[in-house]
Structure 1
Amino acid sequence: MRRWTAPSVIGWTLASIIVPGAAHLRAGRRRAGLIMVGTFGVLVMICAVIALVNGKELAGLLLDPTWLSVIIGVCVVAGLAWAAVVISSYIVLRPSRLGRWSQIGTGAVAGLLAVAVALPFGLVAATAHTSDNAIDEVFKSSPTQSINHADPWRGRDRLNIALLGGDGASSRKGVSIRTDSINVVSINVRTGDSTVFALPREMENVPFPPGSALAKRFPPPKNFWLPPGQGRGSADLINGIWAYADTHPEVTGHSPTRAPEAVKGALGQTLGLKVDYYMLVNMWGVARLIDALGGVTINVEQDICYGVGRSDGGVVKAGTRTLDGTQALWYGRARDHPGSTCAGADNNTRMRRQQCVMNAMLTQLNPSNVLLKFNALARAAKETFHTDIPRDLLQDLVPLAQQVKNARVSKLNFVPPAYNPAYPDYVRIRKAVRTAIARSRGSDKTVRAEAASPSPTSTASSTATPTGSPRQRTRQTGRLDTLNSSCVPTKKGS
């Protein structure tokens, strides 16, 4: 009869966590041990094959509500099964032959091990449940649009998504959102190559789709104009379209999607593209995300004042700083303040700083932080993101996003001096868009962060001047460096 000691009982119980069935084999329960080892091996092989063969598709399926429910169920069953394996392994080692105190000690250890192996499965199940609720809040299922996953893009070779930054805040009661950051990303769905078009918030006289309610209300040449004394002063600017459509249902209709549809229509008419979906990021919600992640590190070029003359004002000091959510938002939003001793910004500079904040967040995401603070991030996400991308499309959109990360990304900014936002030449803008998309299909491997044509008189097909040095070019291998500057610190050794 084999004589067990307390250390050997604990050791073989631990071994059964790594290889279920090991303790049974050691205890002479050969049949049970082989069944456990074989079952465990088959499950590992199945998971490995699925991950290797369908890795991209798997990432998208993990956002599907059905699959998330399956994951939750599997985690519950697997956690209980693994805990049962630990207890069973302890029992077959016959701890009853040990002394009284050894039995108590090894039993307590076995119980703790059973809880320890079940706990990660419980956390994954809880995280999946939280993720499912958060995704359901942001991405609504479309009752009218069914997705054919064999051809989710309906035969088209490009997908166009408006990326909007809104200034909605709880302190701004009764005031609708202004879209102060406006970008449209055009993605080649076959290659992932993308072109980002950035429009300044102060662009005027934006055209609307012919026949639309807004086109009838504001016909050319002054499309988005209000007589004196009516509406907000910024109503003739592109960043005021959302607010106007939202607060004037007598013009735009009473549909709950009237504001984003108005913006998408205007952007599509401006750029000569069909804008398929939008994603609105509430900039004040981003502050909560940044706080949940522990802040973002940014190279602040010079002292930046914010809230001058207000009790909540302050200064973001120059240097490499880890900014909390409020500081990061003010870094991107601070304006010029006459008489102030530190910097603010004009609209173009503010746009670049806001892009820098978003770039810093993406660059400095810490997986451990995301996992540890997932619930807080999920709660903040509900307040931060708004979109009309249907949830059913996510299993196709996530693999496409992974493809975009490793593809070529170029950027075209319609900003001064090449483009005058007060008197935009929309014919020239559309021609520049067509040229940029055609260039993105070319064979040049160098990705350019483009600002626009060198001069207002040059043709739209001319090579654009990159942001930063006239000869500077940015090679991309995973993210878009929208600033071509050192605002986001690089890690040592990178």
Structure 2
Amino acid sequence: MGKRRRLTKTPSRPRSMTRALLWTAASAALPGAAHLRTGRRWAGAAILACHLLLVTALVLGGLALRDNLVLSTTLATQDRWLLAAGIGAFAVAVLWMTVVVHSYVITRPESSPLGRRVVAGVVVAALCLAVAAPAGAVGYVSYTAYDVSNSLFSADPEEPHDDADPWNGRERVNVLLLGGDAGKNRYGMRTDTMIVASIDVDSGDVVLIGLPRNLENVPFPEGTALAERYPAPHGFTDLLNEVYQTIADDPTLAVNPAAADPAADTLKRVIGEAIGLGIDYYGLVDMQGFEDIIDAIGGIRVYLEEPLPYGQRGEYLDAGWQVLDGREALWYGRTRVNSDDYSRMGRQGCLIKYVAEQADPATILTSFRSLAAAAKSTLRTDVPQPKLPHFVELAERVANADMETLQLSPPQVNTAYPDWEHIRELVREAVHGAQEPASDIQQTPAPSTSPGTGTAPESSPDDLTEWQEYTGLPEPSPTSPGRQVGEEATALDELCP
């Protein structure tokens, strides 16, 4: 007998459309499965290997980025990485859909009724959409980050940038935080919220310097068009919160007319000159947009020792622990019902403290779309793109650091006739001087008597606190959250419930 030739049997196609679709679905979850089933071993092994390598790379990349905020922010704000992520996601989606379609082609029965082929086509299309969805999400997030980064932040910093020394040797970075009150029912914008955050770049400790909106006789930098138009000592007769709109109405008065926002840039320089502190950057948010930002991060939790009234319809925030949504947080920081500008300033400092402590990175990531939309429509800043990763790292330190406030408000400052040399000395001591513990005046619990009622306790003038001398009230210290009295910076932990 002659030698028998040994034949290798090639796996056959599945005999039913149902089995073909099951193998196609398996290939959507584990690319290469259908190719191995039909005997295409080299192709199936290669597709499966590529898939496993991609999954491994994504897992290792996620682990590497999880605890590295600087690297994560760098990738999320640099155009080349955002472009690479978008193109990569698109390429993976196309290849994956190609594998799904080819898996169906090689597993479908050679002949089947038209109705079954139509149903199978719908199922395969659905599988393609399913595998393309994650890539589409990556592409959308990449585009959104690219759009926000290029809309809000300049790619070209005014000074050289070195990642090894991002703050150019400075021990502190100073940022002017502005809140504008622009609205449909009013002309222009007044910056009713003006807070300078001086941040220690090593420890993250912060001193918040609050400037009242009604400071008068603000000095302008020498040699500027503003100083020539409004010469000292009483040239500018409006309040500090009108400087922004003054520049917006007449950009020729701007210190740097070429700036992205000449009015905000000029206000930054004016305030820096007035308080004797070099301000590096500014951030301006429309207060109505602030509402959207708070909603995007899931609200903030605050404690109110007594109900806080607001609005013109008799509304109020209940006493006790409350989670405030964007609208309520906005009113918490803006209301002056049964209150005043300076109490409002104090609550705004508390808001900054609460947001810094409670803004959860995981929540920010899950709310990225709404947060990005709110920031793009309401935020303006001169922070350059290369600084963003380092600001994120700094923000992480701030969340776990000490936060103090110095409010340039009565009784420590006369807003109608401010002594700017004295103000500069207060700021210098708060930022650079040794920080002393809060005074006993500010730690003394307030009696149950409501503010504005009764008279000061019977005692000699030497026994009265600074707050009692200023107000004539019996309370030895303010009862409003965040309200500071005295010429020393005070810890916000003691002022904010």
Q: Which residue of 1 aligns with 2:315?
A: 315
| Alpha-carbon separation, structure 2, partners of 1:154 and 1:187 | 14
| Structure 2 counterparts to residues 398-437 of structure 1, below 5 A | 398-437=392-431
Q: Which residue of 2 aligns with 1:165?
A: 179
Q: Which residue of 1 aligns with 2:281?
A: 277
Q: Structure 1 residues 105, 449: CA separation in 2 closer, same or farther (over 3 Å shift)?
A: farther
Q: Which residue of 2 aligns with 1:183?
A: 195
Q: Which residue of 2 aligns with 1:488?
A: none
> CA contact under 8 A between 1:449 and 1:484: conserved in structure 2?
no
SS class of match (2:82):
helix
Q: Which residue of 2 aligns with 1:208?
A: 220
Pick from 65, 71, 88 the counterpart of residue 85 of structure 2: 71
- Taking only aligned residues, the RMSD between alpha carbons, in angstroms, comes to 4.5
| Alpha-carbon separation, structure 2, partners of 1:191 and 1:256 | 35
TM-score scaled by structure 2?
0.71
Q: Structure 1 residues 451, 356: CA separation in 2 closer, same or farther (over 3 Å shift)?
A: farther
> CA contact under 8 A between 1:412 and 1:451: conserved in structure 2?
no
Counterpart amino acid of 1:127?
Answer: V
> CA contact under 8 A between 2:346 and 2:483: conserved in structure 1?
no
Which structure has the greater CA radius of gyration? 2
Q: Structure 1 residues 393, 293: CA separation in 2 closer, same or farther (over 3 Å shift)?
A: closer
Q: Structure 1 residues 317, 127: CA separation in 2 closer, same or farther (over 3 Å shift)?
A: same
SS class of match (2:218):
coil
Pick from 323, 342, 347 the counterpart of residue 348 of structure 1: 342
SS class of match (2:183):
coil
Q: Structure 1 residues 406, 143: CA separation in 2 closer, same or farther (over 3 Å shift)?
A: closer
The reply on whether 1:137 has 2:137 as its aligned counterpart is no
Give the deviation of 1:275 after TM superposition: 0.6
The reply on whether 1:34 has 2:45 as its aligned counterpart is yes
SS class of match (1:62):
helix
Counterpart amino acid of 2:48?
Answer: V
Pick from 360, 378, 381 the counterpart of residue 384 of structure 1: 378
> CA contact under 8 A between 2:353 and 2:403: conserved in structure 1?
no
The reply on whether 1:57 has 2:71 as its aligned counterpart is yes
Q: Which residue of 1 aligns with 2:461?
A: none
Q: Which residue of 2 aligns with 1:263?
A: 267
> CA contact under 8 A between 1:9 and 1:106: conserved in structure 2?
no
Unaligned segments of structure 1, at least 5 residues: 227-234, 308-312, 337-343, 458-464, 471-475, 486-494
Q: Structure 1 residues 113, 334: CA separation in 2 closer, same or farther (over 3 Å shift)?
A: same
Q: Structure 1 residues 253, 212: CA separation in 2 closer, same or farther (over 3 Å shift)?
A: closer
Q: Alpha-carbon deviations, 1:56-106, whole Å to 9, x = none?
A: 2232231122322222212211222222233333444x1316965766555
Q: Which residue of 1 aligns with 2:31?
A: 20
Q: Alpha-carbon deviations, 1:19-45, whole Å to 9, x = none?
A: 433443444433223222322333344
> CA contact under 8 A between 1:411 and 1:448: conserved in structure 2?
no
> CA contact under 8 A between 1:449 and 1:481: conserved in structure 2?
no
| Alpha-carbon separation, structure 1, partners of 2:142 and 2:378 | 20
Counterpart amino acid of 2:108?
Answer: P
| Alpha-carbon separation, structure 2, partners of 1:73 and 1:413 | 50
| Alpha-carbon separation, structure 2, partners of 1:434 and 1:203 | 19
Q: Which residue of 2 aligns with 1:230?
A: none
| Structure 2 counterparts to residues 294-333 of structure 1, below 5 A | 301-302=306-307, 304-307=309-312, 315-316=315-316, 318=318, 328-333=329-334
| Alpha-carbon separation, structure 1, partners of 2:440 and 2:348 | 17
> CA contact under 8 A between 1:410 and 1:449: conserved in structure 2?
no
Give the deviation of 1:166 after TM superposition: 1.1
Pick from 114, 123, 131 the counterpart of residue 137 of structure 2: 123
> CA contact under 8 A between 1:411 and 1:451: conserved in structure 2?
no
Give the deviation of 1:218 after TM superposition: 4.9
| Alpha-carbon separation, structure 2, partners of 1:282 and 1:388 | 15
Q: Structure 1 residues 75, 179: CA separation in 2 closer, same or farther (over 3 Å shift)?
A: same
Q: Structure 1 residues 98, 106: CA separation in 2 closer, same or farther (over 3 Å shift)?
A: farther
| Alpha-carbon separation, structure 2, partners of 1:402 and 1:98 | 63
Give the deviation of 1:163 after TM superposition: 0.8
> CA contact under 8 A between 1:205 and 1:225: conserved in structure 2?
yes
Sequence identity percentage: 34
| Alpha-carbon separation, structure 2, partners of 1:171 and 1:240 | 17
Pick from 74, 86, 97 the counterpart of residue 83 of structure 1: 97
Give the deviation of 1:47 after TM superposition: 3.8
| Alpha-carbon separation, structure 2, partners of 1:261 and 1:17 | 53
> CA contact under 8 A between 2:157 and 2:384: conserved in structure 1?
no
Counterpart amino acid of 2:190?
Answer: R
| Alpha-carbon separation, structure 2, partners of 1:292 and 1:73 | 28
Q: Which residue of 2 aligns with 1:484?
A: 496
SS class of match (1:205):
coil
Q: Alpha-carbon deviations, 1:112-150, whole Å to 9, x = none?
A: 111111023223323332332333232244486564445
Q: Structure 1 residues 14, 398: CA separation in 2 closer, same or farther (over 3 Å shift)?
A: farther
Q: Structure 1 residues 372, 109: CA separation in 2 closer, same or farther (over 3 Å shift)?
A: farther
Q: Which residue of 1 aligns with 2:246?
A: 244
> CA contact under 8 A between 1:316 and 1:331: conserved in structure 2?
no
Give the deviation of 1:277 after TM superposition: 1.0
SS class of match (2:109):
helix
> CA contact under 8 A between 2:403 and 2:493: conserved in structure 1?
no
